[in-house]
Amino acid sequence: MKPILKIILVVAFLAGVIMLLTPRNEVESVNIYSSRNEGLIKPLLDEFTAETGIQVNLLTGSGDGLLTRLQNEGRNTEADLFLTVDAGALHRAKIAGLFQPVQSDILNQALPSNLRDRDNEWFGLSMRARTIFYANERVDPSELSDYLALADEKWRGRICVRSSDNLYNQSLVAAMIAHYGEEITEQWARGLVANFGRKPVGGDRDQLHAVASGQCDIAIANSYYYGGMTASDDQTSIDTIKKVSLFWAAQNAEGTHVNVSGIGLLRHAKNADAAIMLMEFLASEASQEWYAQANQEFPVRADTELSPILANWGPFKADPLPISELGEHNADAVRLMNRAGWR
Positions of E strands within the chain: 29-34, 55-60, 81-84, 123-135, 159-160, 218-222, 244-247, 258-265, 298-299
Using alpha carbons only, give the angle 211, 214, 216 rounded to the nearest 5 degrees.
55
Q: Which pairs count as long-range contacts for 142-146, CB under 8 Å and 24+ apart, including other chains?
A: 144/247, 144/249, 145/249, 145/250, 145/252, 145/253, 146/249, 146/250, 146/252, 146/253, 146/254
Per-position pLDDT tens, the chain of length 343: 544 434 333 334 443 433 334 343 467 999 999 999 898 899 999 999 999 999 999 999 999 999 999 999 999 999 999 999 999 999 999 999 999 999 999 999 999 999 999 999 999 999 999 999 999 999 999 999 999 999 999 999 999 999 999 999 999 999 999 999 999 999 999 999 999 999 999 999 999 999 999 999 999 999 999 999 999 999 999 999 999 999 999 999 999 999 999 999 999 999 999 999 999 999 999 999 999 999 999 999 988 999 999 999 999 999 999 999 999 999 999 999 999 999 9
Nearest to 83 by CA among 31, 34, 30: 34
How far lies 213's CA from each of 198, 237, 240, in Å?
13, 12, 8
Distances (CA, A) of 91 to 232, 260, 279, 307: 33, 12, 18, 30
| pTM of the complete model beyond 0.95 | no
DSSP 145: -
Buried/exposed code over 128-167 (b: 16+ C-beta within 10 A; e: otherwise): bbbbbbbbeeebeeeebbebbbbbeeebeebbbbbebeeb
Q: How many CA atoms lie within 13 A of 312 on its CB side?
A: 12
Domains and CATH numbers, the chain: 29-127+259-308 (3.40.190.10), 128-257+324-339 (3.40.190.10)
- CA–chain centroid gap for 172, Å, is 14
Beta-sheet pairing, 218-222 with 159-160: parallel
Q: Which amino acid is at 135?
A: A
